[in-house]
Structure 1
Amino acid sequence: MGLKNLGSFFSLKALDSRLDPGTDQKRIQKANLGATKSRWNTLEFKLYYVAFAVIVPMMVKAAMSATNEQNPNFPRIEPLLSQGWIGGRKVDNSDSQYRFFRDNLPLLLGLAVLHVLLKKIVLRASQCRKVTFDLIFGLIFLFAAHGGNALRVLGHLLINFTIAKCLRRRPRVAKFLTWTYGIGSLFINDNYRKYPFGNVLSILSPLDSSFTGIIERWDVFYNFTLLRMLSFDMDFLEKWQEIKKVKKSATPSPSPPIKPELKRSASSATTLETICENGNNNLLLEERARLNAPHHIQDYSLSHYLAYITYTPLFIAGPIITFNDYLYQSQQTLPSINRKAIVIYALRFSFCVLTMEVVLHYIYAVAVSKTKAWEGDTPFEISMIGLFNLNIVWLKLLIPWRLFRLWSLVDGIDPPENMLRCMNNNFSALAFWRAWHRSFNKWVVRYIYIPLGGSNSRILTSLAVFSFVAIWHDIELKLLLWGWLIVLFLLPEITAQQYFSGCHKRPWYRYLRSVGAVFNIWMMMIANLFGFCLGYDGTVYLIKGLFLTWSGIKFLICANAALFVATQVMFEQREHEKRKGVNVKC
Structure 2
Amino acid sequence: MNTHNNRYAKWKQRELVLILLYAIAFYAYVLWRSIRLSHDHYFKLHGLAPSWLIPNRRNDVSDAQWRNFRGNFPILSFVFAVFTVIANGFRSFFHLKAKGMAILWLSMSFIYLIYLHGACVIYILSIATANFLLVKVFARTKYFPFMLWTFNIIFLFCNRIYEGYSFSIFGQQFEFLDNFRGTFRWHICFNFVVLRMISFGYDYHWSQLDSHFDQEKHVTRCCLCKLGKTCYVVRQERGLASDSCSFSLYLCYLVYAPLYLAGPIISFNAFASQLDMPQNTHSFKDVAWYGVRWLFSFLLIELMTHLFYYNAFVISGLWRELSPVEIFIVGYGVLNFMWLKFLLLWRYFRFWSLVNGIETVENMPNCINNCYSLETFWKTWHASFNRWLIRYMYIPLGGSRRKFLNVWVVFTFVAMWHDLEWKLLSWAWLTCLFFMPEMLLKSASNAYKVESAFGEFLLRELKALSGAVTITCLMIANLAGYVVGPSGINWMVSSFLKREGVPVLGGVFFSLYVGTKLMFHIQDLRSRVHSPK
Same fold (TM over 0.5): yes
For these two proteins, the number of residue pairs brought into alignment is: 499
Give the conservation status (yes or no) of the 8 Å contact 2:291–2:351. Answer: yes
Distance 2:10 2:112 in 1: 52
Structure 2 counterpart of 1:572, from 521, 525, 528: 521
Name the CA shift for 1:564/1:327 in 2 (closer, same or farther; >3 Å): same
1:214 maps to 2:183: yes
Residue type of the alignment partner of 2:35 = M
Of structures 1 and 2, the one with the larger relative CO (CA 8 A, separation 6+) is 1
Task: Choose from 500, 525, 528 the match for 2:445.
Answer: 500
Confirm whether residue 142 of structure 1 aligns to residue 142 of structure 2.
Answer: no
What is the alpha-carbon distance in structure 1 between the residues aligned to residue 44 and residue 486 of structure 2?
Answer: 20
Show the counterpart of 2:35.
64
Deviation at 1:220, TM superposition (A): 0.6
1 CA distance for matches of 2:395 and 2:530?
Answer: 26
Correspondence list, 1:162-201, <5 A: 162-170=133-141, 172-200=142-170
- Note the C-alpha offset of 1:540: 4.2
Distance 1:445 1:576, change over 3 A: same
Q: 1:82 aligns with which of 49, 58, 66?
A: 49
Aligned partner of 1:465 in structure 2 is: 410
Which of 77, 101, 122 aligns to 2:69? It is: 101
Change (3 A) 1:342 1:564: same
1:502/1:169 Cα in 2 relative to 1: closer, same or farther (>3 Å)? closer
Question: Does structure 2 retain, via aligned residues, the 8 Å contact 1:228–1:323?
Answer: yes
| Aligned 8 A contact 1:82 1:93 in 2 | yes
**Partners of 1:294 and 1:547 in 2: CA distance:** 55
Instruction: Report matched runs for 1:276-425 at 5 Å.
Output: 284-374=229-319, 377-425=322-370
CA offset at residue 334 of structure 1? 3.0
Contact between 2:324 and 2:495, CA under 8 Å: does it hold in 1? Answer: yes
Q: Does the 8 A contact of 1:168 with 1:174 survive in 2? A: yes
SS in 1 for 2:364: coil
Which residue of structure 1 aligns with residue 470 of structure 2? Answer: 520
Q: How many angstroms apart in 1 are the aligned matches of 2:490 and 2:435?
A: 23
Contact 2:120/2:186 (8 A) holds in 1: yes
Which shows bigger deviation, 304-313 or 194-203?
194-203
Preserved CA contact (<8 Å) 1:66 1:374: no
TM-superposed CA distance for 1:108, in Å, is 1.4
1:383-424 CA-partner distances (Å, limit 9, x unpaired): 101111111122222211110000001111110011122122
List structure 1 runs of 4+ shifted beyond 6 angstroms. Answer: 37-41
Preserved CA contact (<8 Å) 2:192 2:262: yes
Q: Which runs of 5+ in 1 are unaligned?
A: 1-36, 244-282
Indicate how the Cα distance of structure 1 residues 38 and 472 shifts in structure 2: closer, same or farther if over 3 A, else same: farther
Alpha-carbon distance change, 315 to 39 in structure 1, aligned in 2, over 3 angstroms: farther
- Counterparts of 1:47-62 in structure 2 under 5 Å? 47-62=18-33
Letter in 2 for 1:452: L
Cα distance in 2 between the residues matched to 1:483 and 1:540: 16
Cα separation, 2, equivalents of 1:56 and 1:530: 24
| 8 Å Cα contact 1:232-1:305 kept in structure 2 | yes
**What root-mean-square deviation, in Å, do the aligned CA atoms of Structure 1 and Structure 2 show?**
2.3
> Retained in 2: the 8 A contact 1:38–1:576?
no
CA distance in 1, matches of 2:88, 2:11: 47
Aligned counterpart, 2:204: 236
- Aligned-residue sequence identity (percent) comes to 32
The answer (yes or no) to whether the contact 1:239–1:297 under 8 Å persists in 2 is yes
The structure that is helix-richer by fraction is: 2
SS of the residue aligned with 1:91? Answer: strand
Q: Give, in angstroms, the shift of residue 509 of structure 1.
A: 0.9
- Residue 576 of structure 1 aligns with an amino acid whose one-letter code is L
Question: Partner residue of 1:46?
Answer: 17
Question: What letter is aligned with 1:107?
Answer: I
Contact 2:48–2:61 (8 Å) recurs in 1:
yes
Bigger CA drift: 500-509 or 353-362? Answer: 500-509
Give the direction of change, closer, same or farther, for the CA distance of 1:62–1:536 in structure 2 (3 Å limit): farther
Deviation at 1:319, TM superposition (A): 0.2
- Mapped to 1, the partners of 2:247 and 2:466 lie a distance apart of 51
The alpha carbon displacement at 1:304 in A equals 0.7
Paired amino acid for 2:115? A
Give the superposition deviation at 1:504. Answer: 6.2
Cα distance between partner residues in 2 of 1:130 and 1:346: 24
Classify 1:207/1:94 alpha carbon distance in 2 versus 1 (closer, same or farther; 3 Å).
same
1:510 aligned onto 2:460: yes
Partner of 1:250: none
The aligned counterpart of 2:391 is: 446
In 2 relative to 1, CA 76–481 (structure 1 residues): closer, same or farther, beyond 3 Å? closer
Find the aligned partners of 2:114 and 2:522 in 1 and give their Cα distance: 46
CA deviation profile, 1:5-46 (whole Å, cap 9, x unmatched): xxxxxxxxxxxxxxxxxxxxxxxxxxxxxxxx9889811111
Question: 335-344 vs 176-185, which deviates more?
Answer: 335-344
**Equivalents in 2 of 1:40, 1:305: separation in Å?**
58
Secondary structure in structure 1 of the residue aligned to 2:446: coil
Question: Cα 1:343–1:38, aligned 2, differ >3 Å: closer, same or farther?
Answer: farther
Give the TM-score, by structure 2 length.
Answer: 0.88
Task: Supply the distance in 2 between the matched residues of 1:544 and 1:201 (Cα, whole angstroms).
Answer: 53
Q: Is the 8 A contact 2:236 2:267 kept in 1?
A: yes
- TM-score by length of structure 1 reads 0.81
- Taking the aligned partners of 1:312 and 1:376, their CA distance within structure 2 comes to 44
5+ residue gaps in structure 2? 1-7, 212-227, 451-455
